Amino acid sequence: MSRLILLNKPFGVLSQFSRSEGETGPTLADFVSVPDVYPAGRLDKDSEGLLLLTDDGRLQAELSDPRFKLPKTYLVQVEGSPSEPALAALRKGVVLRDGPTRPALAEAIDPPELWPRDPPVRFRKSVPDHWIALTITEGRNRQVRRMTAAVGLPTLRLVRWRIGALTLEGLAPGQWRDATSGERPLPATPSPPPRPRSNR
């Protein structure tokens, strides 16, 4: 029986169990003392929230497989006011240096009830900040930060709240739990690969 662990990764923690040369800061080993589990996907050192770990190599690969288009929802504190044109651009997909993103779900939200970040976010008194919820089905390097920056909303704080049907609900920073037998992060069957675009 494969094991699937939900961890609320704190800010500043590396998404790995050991440090590479030149890296500093705490690792997953400082929070999860379970042998032979590995992260399924990554979460930047300066991002917080849900990280999945498993001892099943096949499940680990599937959770990262773009064919499943597994939705991931982020709560994003941004600098500036999210206008409707900016949100519409996120929903349509924005062009990044590595190509256009898939369409996303994006909406302005009230400030969520989250734990205080350590260290606190630095604010500029002259610039307002707001929160958006952004759901994507990709996993490019620092994608959410690059998407919000592309529409003029630099990210101040980034918390991954949901992966598929799994959420952070009830987990404080650094806490983890095993997924129950009825919890499934993946759909029953993967989405078919996208068809190549016609040149005609």
The active-site residue, picked from 30, 36, 44, 129, is 44
Q: Is the pLDDT reported for residue 186 higher than 50?
A: yes
CB count within 10 Å of CB 130 equals: 17
What is the per-residue pLDDT for 125?
A: 81
The pLDDT tens digits for 117-163 are 989 998 888 889 999 999 999 988 899 999 999 999 999 999 999 99
- Type of residue found at 9: K
Residue 193 DSSP class? P
Q: Encode pLDDT of 19-40 as tens digits.
A: 888 888 999 999 999 999 999 9
- Say if CB 70 and CB 189 are below 8 A apart: no
Q: Domains in the chain, ordered, with CATH?
A: 1-67+166-187 (3.30.70.580), 71-163 (3.30.70.1560)
The 10s digit of each residue's pLDDT in 98-130 is 999 999 999 999 999 999 998 999 888 888 999
Q: Provide the CB-side half-sphere exposure for 36 (13 A, CA).
A: 5
Residue whose C-alpha is closest to residue 75's, from 168, 2, 146: 168
Which residue, chain included where needed, has tokens 């917080």? Answer: 48
- The model carries a pTM of 0.90
Annotated catalytic residue 30: no
